[in-house]
Amino acid sequence: SYELTQPPSVSVSPGQTATIPCSGDKLGNKYACWYQQKPGQSPVLVIYQDTKRPSGIPERFSGSNSGNTATLIISGTQAMDEADYYCQAWDRSTVVFGTGTKVTVL
């Protein structure tokens, strides 16, 4: 079955850039999405179709997808961005989520 791998954790200082990779076989040939989940809350879509931001999502969130890796970039990271982040893709009639990355803003 298809797998998406993310680092368990990423640390970033306030105002700096956080980069969260998501790896999967030929992931660049598929669309990738990203979700943010804060403790005790439901997930929120922050990036879809590799690079698009839903309305209401700050511009500091951006995405890319090429080769075997999709990447979520948070520019000018704020304390409110501390959360778990999950990538997601579609493979052979199945939705696959990544393993999740906890972003800590130190």
Partner 1 sequence: EVQLVESGGGLVQPGRSLRLSCAASGFTYDEYAMHWVRQAPGKGLEWVSGVTWNSDTTVYADSVQGRFTISRDNARTSLYLQMNSLRAEDTALYYCVKDISTTISGDLAFGVWGQGTMVTVS
Q: How far is the CB of 42 from partner 1 (least distance, A)?
A: 4
What is the secondary structure of 79-96 as a DSSP string?
GGG-EEEEEEEEETTEEE
Nearest residue (CB) to partner 1, 37 versus 75: 37
Q: How far is the CB of 6 from partner 1 (least distance, A)?
A: 9
Contact 31, 89 (CB under 8 A): yes
Q: CA-CA distance, 92 to 30, in Å (whole number)?
A: 11
Whole-angstrom distance, CA of residue 27 vs CA of residue 89: 8
What six digits make up the tokens of 88?
């997601």
* Least distance (Å) between residue 67 CB and partner 1: 17
Nearer to partner 1 by Cβ, of 80 and 94: the residue is: 94
**Contact footprint for partner 1 (CB under 8 A):** 1, 30-31, 33, 35, 37, 42-45, 48-49, 54, 86, 88, 90, 93-100
